Chain A
Amino acid sequence: MLHIARRLIVLVAALALGVTTAQGVTIGVLSPLTGGSAGTGLAQRAGFELALQEINAAGGVLGEPLRIIVEDTQANPAVGLAAFEKLMTEDDVEFIAGGFSSGVTLALIESFRTFQPIVMWIGGAVSGIGIDGFDGIEELIGEEEWFFHVHPWDYHNVEAATAFVADTGVQTVTLLHEDSAFGGPGSAGAQALLEDAGLTVPLREAFTSTLLGGTGDFRAAIAKAAATNADMLYWIGYDSDVVPLTSQIRELNYRPQHIFGAPPGWPSEFAAAPEAQCVTGLIGFMPNLPTPEAQAFTRAYVDLHGAEPDNYMAALAYANLWAYADAINAAGTTDQAAVIAELQTGTFRSPIGDWSFQPSIIAKHQGFTTDLWLVFQYQNGVREIVWPLEKATAPLVSCR
């Protein structure tokens, strides 16, 4: 009797919540669609939607249309935890995609380990390597078979940026960084690598990002940087810092040879601003990347969403979903061991070019590394790729 009552209650609850059973493969996506990181999450969702459309137009996965269920984490660890558990216990997904924010990822690791779905994660870059007494994502995940990390680790980001700086030929670099888990360790790592490369770092100064409650007045930090007379100003902050920081650099008439920034994204309208001229930035994907894959992705993205992608997370999300589709189709089954084997050995498509998983310092499966990163420069209202040279659309120019 109790058994029948329970079944009835579950059925009524399921109907009330609009739960339907669906055939075919479903992939659960965790992204911050609201809150301070919504820009990144919405870019991810746009990339997933494009890949989903193409995958289903090409026959779907295992002969059935692929489904995705996108859950909003709000970049909040407790909300992310509940969202992941919903995907596992209510939606019964076997594959997890998406991901952003190291805080959310750290909160999810224990739960990932409990359920052990295949997790292909495009966010959460804090590896923990090089930080004494702190275990980051790479250290906590260790060599788990079911975890696939797509985004480069923090040390890859720093290596790429430092390689660009060294290639410019500058001798002195002043570092300004926002003072959270993003900019703090990143700037410390950058200073160490730059000094190892023989460059001088006369100043490393922190500021509070406007994203995290800062006032947007960076004049004190900029004045200190100007006093060093360094060849390059290298800053690490967030998208919302781009406009106030660069306009205040102009206002204070500070003119280093190069102004190089590494925020996660750049405001799309910034290109037209006069203070953008000659500013350089690190980015994971550019719509004008002169490769057939990038051009095809950009065209399809514009057709679906009506504008070019302005955040590289769209390209990573696209690569994320296609890798799942190709691996499951190649395995011919959703059996976890078979799909893991395909992910370990396969080569996958992406707007950035073909890619595959290789071991990183600790983790068993690392997708993109330093090779993801490009450096662009605003030149007369256009973002030209200036580094690496083999992908460059224009030469780097000096701001002086």
Chain B
Amino acid sequence: MSAPAAASRAEARRGPFPWDLLGVVVLAIIAAFTPDLLRFVFDRASVSYLSIASNALSLAILALSWDMLARTGNLSLAHAAFYGAGAYTTALLVKHADVPLWLGIPLGGVVAVAFALLLGSFTLRLRGIYFAIATLAFAEVLKSVVHHAPTDFAGGNAGMNVPALFRPVFIAGEMERWEVAYMRNEAYFYVYAGLLVATVLASILLQRSRLRHAMTAMRTNEEVAGVMGVRATRVKLLAFTLSSAFVGMLGAVEAHRVGSVLPEQSFSVATTVLALVTPIFGGLYTTLGPIVGAFGLSSVQELLRRTFADGYLIGYGVVLVLTILFMPRGVVGTLGTFFRRRRKGAQR
């Protein structure tokens, strides 16, 4: 056997280099140093940059968790329901069960999963627009239930207070006031970053498993996928469960950060819209696309806001429309195609 053939066989046994997992490690390292780097560069202004970065991380979790279900070819409009379920779970636990604040976050995910299983068991046999409408209605039903639950239980229209996870104390003479805000924002940043790393890992494991092929087959043609032995309902239910777990935990964290839950705020349609617009911008059905979409859109919006205070959303809208018109596969999909073509051109 020739040496190149032996090397090729050895590589096949080992599998391709896990660039995606290396990417997670790099992401975690960048996240670990980001607060210190921002403080080093921007000093006290790092407080607001940390908030903006946390908002971008939150959007990335929202978008990536939505994309996990979208990979099965189903358009879910229930993300606001799972986000709100997580937010209300932690608020109710704090109010009625006096549990440690941190416990509300995983339990927010658990309750969101329970709702996903309930919704999924009724709707996952639906397809296309029928599935989308059913999921949208579910978010409205949950909001209505919260509205009409006894006020002393779920707060009714006025909502409920949710205590902050972090309350650094100002010590006069030893620190400046902005440092208290920095410590608080730094702590929340790490919570969001940790949640994003967990979401990315789940997404990568999904992509590396055989489920990826099942999802792609379902997205292309669900009937044919079924004939080929793909158990479509089971796959969709699994994707729905994973997707809802992360967004439920996100809702719980955000409730602590903003200090309250209100039905209109927690079950807002805007949450669902952001969850689907961001992966479309960044690139659907990938792990990288929703993350690129979240950081890309957040940066574009912030830059436009600081440059054109008046009508910056017009510029933001133009960027979105142009992306959809000229990059229908999103930023990541278009760049991938571009580099593949270049590589092929160079090989010729």
Q: State the A residues within 8 Å of B (CB).
A: 6, 9-10, 13, 17-18, 34, 70, 72, 77-79, 81-82, 85-86, 88-90, 102-103, 106-107, 109-111, 114-116, 126, 128, 131-136, 140, 179-185, 206, 212-213
Contact B48 A180 (CB under 8 A): no
Contact B259 A89 (CB under 8 A): no
20 chain-A/chain-B pairs, Cβ below 8 angstroms = A9-B40, A10-B41, A10-B42, A18-B306, A72-B309, A72-B312, A77-B258, A77-B259, A79-B55, A82-B55, A89-B44, A110-B259, A114-B177, A116-B177, A133-B152, A180-B263, A181-B158, A182-B157, A185-B158, A213-B269
Size bracket, chain B contacts: 35 or more
Chain A proximity of B309: nearest CB distance (Å): 7
> What would 7 more interface pairs be, CB under 8 Å, given A81-B257, A133-B160?
A13-B42, A18-B307, A78-B55, A89-B181, A107-B260, A133-B95, A184-B156
Q: Give the CA-CA distance A17 to B307 in the complex, in Å.
A: 8
Chain B proximity of A239: nearest CB distance (Å): 16
Whether, in the assembled complex, B164 has its beta carbon less than 8 Å from a beta carbon of chain A, the answer is: yes
If over half of B's interface residues share one DSSP class (helix, strand or loop), that class is named, otherwise mixed; here it is helix
Q: State the B residues within 8 Å of A (CB).
A: 40-48, 51-52, 54-55, 58, 95, 140, 147, 151-152, 155-161, 164, 167, 170, 177-178, 180-181, 184-185, 254, 257-260, 262-265, 269, 305-307, 309, 312-313
Determine the chain A residues whose CB is within 8 A of the CB of B258 once the complex forms: 77-78, 81, 103, 106-107
Q: Give the CA-CA distance A86 to B178 in the complex, in Å.
A: 11
B264 nearest in chain A by CB position: A180
Contact A111 B263 (CB under 8 A): no
Most buried by B among A109, A136, A179: A179
Determine the chain B residues whose CB is within 8 A of the CB of A114 once the complex forms: 170, 177, 180-181, 184
Chain B proximity of A24: nearest CB distance (Å): 20
Contact A134 B184 (CB under 8 A): no
Q: Give the CA-CA distance A72 to B310 in the complex, in Å.
A: 10
Supposing A85-B181, A181-B262 touch, asked if A134 and B45 sit within 8 A by C-beta, the answer is no
Count of A-B contacts judged by CB separation below 8 Å: 130
Contact B178 A89 (CB under 8 A): yes
Determine the chain A residues whose CB is within 8 A of the CB of B156 once the complex forms: 184-185
Most buried by B among A109, A182, A212: A212
Q: Give the CA-CA distance A264 to B331 in the complex, in Å.
A: 42
Q: Give the CA-CA distance A85 to B164 in the complex, in Å.
A: 17
Chain A proximity of B41: nearest CB distance (Å): 5
Q: Give the CA-CA distance A103 to B47 in the complex, in Å.
A: 21
Contact B157 A184 (CB under 8 A): yes
Most buried by A among B45, B54, B158, B312: B158
B44 nearest in chain A by CB position: A89
In-complex Cβ contact of B43 among A10, A17, A34, A102 (8 A): A10
Contact B43 A181 (CB under 8 A): no
Contact A180 B262 (CB under 8 A): yes
Contact A179 B147 (CB under 8 A): yes
Contact B42 A185 (CB under 8 A): no
Supposing A6-B40, A9-B41 touch, asked if A212 and B55 sit within 8 A by C-beta, the answer is no
Contact B157 A179 (CB under 8 A): yes
Q: Give the CA-CA distance A13 to B152 in the complex, in Å.
A: 50
Contact A185 B157 (CB under 8 A): yes
Determine the chain A residues whose CB is within 8 A of the CB of B306 once the complex forms: 17-18
In-complex Cβ contact of B51 among A85, A131, A132 (8 A): A85
